[in-house]
Amino acid sequence: MEPYKRHWRSHNRQARRSGAADCGCGRGAGTRCSADATGEWAPSHYSGTRVWVYAALFLMLLTVAAPLGLAWAEEAPAGSATEYRDIPGLGSRNLIWIIAQQHLLLAGFVLGVPIFAWVCEIVGVRTRDPRYDTLAKEFTKLLTSAYATTALFGGILLFLLLGLYPKLMVYLTDVFFPSFIVYSVLFLLETATLYLYWYGWDSMQGAKKGLHLFLGFLLNVFAFFIMIVPNSWATFQASPVVITEGSMWAKAWVATWNPTWWPVNVHRLIANVVLGGFICGAYAGLKYLMAQNKEERVHYDWMGYVGNFIGVFGMLPLPFAGYWLMREIYQYNQQMGITLMGGFLSWLFILQAMLIGILFLGANYYFWLGIMYRIPGAEAKYRKPILAMLIILLMCLGVWMTPHSLVASLEEARKMGGTHHPMLGVLGVMSAKMTVVNVMILVTFMSFVMYWRAGKQETATWAKAAKVGQGVLLATATVVIIVLGVWGYFVPAITRINYFSTTQVLVMLFVLLTITPLTALVLKSAKTTTEMVWGVMPPRAAYALVLNAVMVILLMTLMGYARSSSRVHWHVYGVMQDTSPYAYSPALGYAAAFMSLNTFLFCLMVAFIFWVASLGGEKKEGTPGKAHVKEAVKPAVAGAPAPAAGRR
């Protein structure tokens, strides 16, 4: 008989003999006690949790398996090859849509988190601040919880594609089989590296820390290649190339190096960082709302700041990666580009502008709350600049959301003289939209710089000249960006696309890459006039972090639909036609319902992952690296709290 069973029975016998006295376990007399004589919890303590976890997994598998059983029960006629299978009621495409979207979102989180977890660990080593190491470990804890779920959905997606779209999978396997082998090897290497990186965290400290950092580097390298290999399969469907005869490795390489492969690689890499940063920020926001003491509020306030910081700085170059992708699509096939930007899918980019605008507003709002609440006495000084930034952001968002052609009745169109509004129509073209995107990025960047400088007084002799130079540079860059945007109306489209838009991006990047190190040098010798207080942010700051995460998820589901629908009735554009009953692009309203459903399901899974990550994470003595952090501490790096005195 197991020890905990013996204890339970002896406990009940003692309770009956002593007149229903209890043993102090808190469960009352006559109930099963899972604590042994040493105060340790026996396995039965976790039986309830296991039951719920197994029940959830069983329900999920049943939900997928039941319709598949109905679908595969419909055998194809004898002697004919099966090209498609369907699921009555649900539809094969709808099921693939849901599973593929969940897998891609989870993969984006799993591939994005290791990047800034590793960076946080490096910062901790360089600054000798153990809190960065604690933060990186907490990020990685979320990664380990999500990794198995990502692999589970990947396996389900593979089986569904093989069963529901055998014709397409046979073709793709014939082209990409060597890359399937490479992907499998990479997956094994990443899994082994992740386990070593996570389970070796505590043992690889001190002299072995360099080995742990090297494992983190390998983890990110394998994750990057795991991302770009499947990207080649998806981009080949949208932009296939002519495959010449040769070895299977040569065929796979030619198909991999298609025109949109690297634009998608760059775009998804940046998007994964943004997704991971904002989801970790949402995790910190939720933990901040549930914090039970000052130490936890301080820690999760700082963690939310780091997540928002990573998400914002990943978001700044993201629009230009998307612009590069669209440019490559137009160069590959103008009809596909027109379908995306000028056909029925063009309204998706109005929704995209709204979602990105909310992201910019949410990220800036969080920075502004940080100035108001973390820096005592800063409200009066920064109220007017914040109001000016808010007005500029709202005006730019209004321009970005303006459509080129309005949805109007026949009577309205006659009064306007067409579908183009006589006054607002000029704001619906790319020249105006590229201009306001650059201005919004500059405003967001200056919000961060303002937050960075708050509570400090420059002491360097050249600080005043540097500050004036930064102001002149920012004003000049803004004027150049606006002038190029207006000038773009009077030049051919090819000139605007190849020269003006590129120059706007380069000017904006020059400002970011110049002002950031210059500000760091100025503040290196600055005197702190007001110490930053952590753990005092209002609840709406946490709500803003959660909102940012939801907007990023919605944005990724929206653009996933746009890229897939651009192929219209083709599996492989211009090569393999879709002859299934679903050989059409779903209507925008129908697609919006599935975008919302996918976002809701992913948020549920993320909440489940957060809950799993919190199991067993709490210790009686507090979380290491948090128990000795003061509520008010001096900022160290870009607003991060410095180690408190006497910290172990």
pLDDT tens-place string over residues 483-531:
999 999 999 988 988 899 999 999 999 999 999 999 999 988 888 888 8
Higher pLDDT residue, 212 or 406? 212
User: Which class for 58: exposed (0-12), middle (13-18), buried (19 or more C-beta within 10 A)?
Assistant: exposed
In angstroms, the CA 526 to CA 459 distance is: 5
274: Cβ–Cβ under 8 A, 6 or more apart, which residues?
A: 112, 311, 314, 315, 318, 552
Q: What pLDDT, on the 0 to 100 scale, is given for residue 373? A: 93
The rounded Cα 95 to chain-centroid distance in angstroms is 23
**What pLDDT digit, counting tens, does each position of 268-292 carry?**
999 999 999 999 999 999 999 999 9
* CA 620 to each of CA 39, 51, 613, 617, 623: distance values in angstroms, whole numbers, following the listed order: 13, 25, 17, 10, 8
Q: Which amino acid is at 555?
A: L
CA angle 539–545–548, rounded 5-degree value: 140
Q: Is the pTM of this model over 0.85?
A: no
Backbone angles phi, psi at 570, to 5 degrees: -120, 140
The pLDDT value recorded for residue 116 is 87
> Does the pLDDT at position 481 exceed 70?
yes
Mean pLDDT of the chain: 83
Residues in contact with 194: Cβ distance below 8 Å, sequence separation at least 6, in sequence order: 143, 144, 147, 219
> What local confidence, expressed as pLDDT, does residue 73 receive?
44
The size of the chain, in residues, is 648
Residue 484: how many CA atoms within 13 Å on its side-chain side?
27
Beta-carbon neighbour count of residue 373 at 10 Å?
19
- Amino acid residing at 494: I
Q: Is the pLDDT of residue 194 over 90?
A: yes
Q: What pLDDT does 460 receive?
A: 86
* Count of helix runs (H) and strand runs (E) in the chain: 20, 4
CB burial string 515-538: b at 16+ within 10 A, e below: beebbeebbeebeeeebbbbbbbe
- Return all residues near 353 (Cβ < 8 A) that are at least 6 apart: 397, 400, 401, 433
- Position 80 confidence tier, pLDDT thresholds 50, 70, 90: low
- Residue the block writes with tokens 């309204």: 347
**CA atoms of 207 and 198, how far apart (whole Å):** 17
Q: What is the pLDDT of residues 361-407, one digit of tens each?
A: 999 999 999 999 999 888 888 999 999 999 999 999 999 988 877 77
Inter-residue contact 71 to 92 (CB < 8 Å) = yes
Q: Is the pLDDT of residue 438 over 80?
A: yes
Judged against a pLDDT cut of 70, whether residue 201 lies above it is answered with: yes
pLDDT-based confidence at residue 16 (cuts at 50, 70, 90)? very low
AA identity, residue 380: A
Q: For residue 575, what are the contacts with CB-CB under 8 A and spacing of at least 6? A: 240
Contact predicate 133/625, CB 8 Å: yes
Q: Are the CB atoms for 473 and 514 separated by under 8 Å?
A: yes
CA dihedral in degrees (465, 471, 473, 474; nearest 10)? 160
Instruction: Find the range with the poorest average confidence among 258-262, 455-459, 555-559.
Output: 455-459
Amino acid identity at 529? T
Nearest to 529 by CA among 634, 644, 393, 625: 634
Q: What is the mean pLDDT of residues 447-458?
A: 89
Can you give the residue ranges of every domain in the chain?
Answer: 3-47
- Amino acid 419: pLDDT: 67
324 torsion bin: left (phi>0), alpha (psi -120 to 50), beta (else)? alpha
Instruction: Dig out the tokens for 3 from the structure.
Output: 């020890």
Residues of the chain above pLDDT 70, percent: 82
625 neighbors 134 (Cβ within 8 angstroms): yes
Q: What is the pLDDT of residues 422-431, one digit of tens each?
A: 777 788 888 8
Give dist(CA 328, CA 266) in Å, integer: 13
**What pLDDT, on the 0 to 100 scale, is given for residue 217?**
96
Statement: residue 414 has pLDDT above 70 = yes
